[in-house]
Amino acid sequence: MKLDKKLLIIDGLNLIRRLYAALESEQDLSRRIERTQSISVEALTKLIHQFTPSYAVVVFDSSGKTWRHEVFPEYKLGRVPMDDALLDSLADFAKVFRFNNLPCLRLEGWEADDLIATLAVKAARNDVKAFIVSTDKGFTQLLGDERIYQYDYFAKLGYDKVWVPEKYGVQVEQLVDYWALVGDTTNRIPGVKGIGPKTAASLLKDFSTIEALYENIGLLPERVQRQLSGVGSYEQCLLARSLVALKTDVEIGIRLSQLEFTLKTTDR
C-alpha cells in the first residue's frame, strides 16, 4: 500500500458526549438527541472533507465491564454517568452514521480505546496513515509511530510525536510509565502519592522506566525514596501502567478493506 492511504478513526462516544453536553440548554430530551445526531453528522462530514480518508470507522464502547474492571474494580469508579436518554439512543446514532456510509465498530467486552489503538497500529504497519479523532489524552502513547496522528476536533489541533515531550516532558515511549507515577484521574487510576508531573518527568529523564527507577531508588533524594517506598507502591505502579497502556492486538475480526470509505451521494 502507498503512504497516501489514510484511515480515519473516530472515537464515537468522545465526539457525541461533547456535542450533547454543548446542548445542555435544550430542555426537550428527544429534541436534544435529534440535534446531537444532526450536529454529529455535520462534524463527521467536516472530518471526511478535511482528511479525505481511504478508510473510515466510528468506534463505540461496549456496554458493561471490560478487562480493566476485572483487574482493578475501582476503574472509572465515580465518573459522572452518561444520561440515560443518550445511552439508550447510541444504537440510533450508529444507524445514522451507517446511513451516511460510515462503518461503525463495537466489540463486546472491549473499550473503544483498545479497538482504536489496534486499528491504528495495524493500519500503520500496512503503511496506511491513521488519524485518531478524539480528545482522550491516552491515545498520545501511540504517536511514537510517525504514521499515527491524533486530532482534537473541538480545539482544531493535531498532535504528533514531536508534541509529546513539549507537553509532558517525556518521550512518547515513556508516557505509560509517566502516567503510572502521576496517576490518571480521569479513569480513577491512582499514581504514587506526592509524585507530580514535574517530579515524574525529572525521574524518567534519568531512569527511563519504572523498573529502572526502582532498581536505582537508593540514588534518589530521601523524600522521593520515601514516596516510592510505600507499601505496595511498586506493585501499584506496575498495575497502573498496565491499565493505562492501550491494547494493540485485539482480535477485532475485520479487514481494512471492510472499512473502505466512499462519500455518499444522493440523487436530486
CATH number for 6-161 (one of 3.40.50.720, 3.40.50.1010, 3.40.50.300, 2.60.120.10): it is 3.40.50.1010
Sheet of 55-59: strands edge to edge?
Answer: 104-105, 55-59, 6-11, 129-133, 148-152, 157-159
pLDDT digits (tens, 9 = 90+) for 119-150: 999 999 999 999 999 999 999 999 999 999 99
Helix, strand, coil: what percent of the chain each, to 5?
A: 50, 10, 40
Q: How far apart are CA 138 and CA 175, in angstroms?
A: 9
pLDDT band at 81 (very low <50, low <70, confident <90, very high): confident
Q: What homologous superfamily does CATH list for 170-244?
A: 5' to 3' exonuclease, C-terminal subdomain (1.10.150.20)
Closest Cα to residue 52, out of 265, 262, 264, 267?
262
pLDDT digits (tens, 9 = 90+) for 39-66: 999 999 999 999 999 999 999 999 888 9
Q: How far apart are CA 6 and CA 53, in angstroms?
A: 5
Q: How far apart are CA 237 and CA 225, in angstroms?
A: 14
pTM of the predicted model over 0.85: yes
- For the chain, the structural domain boundaries read 6-161, 170-244
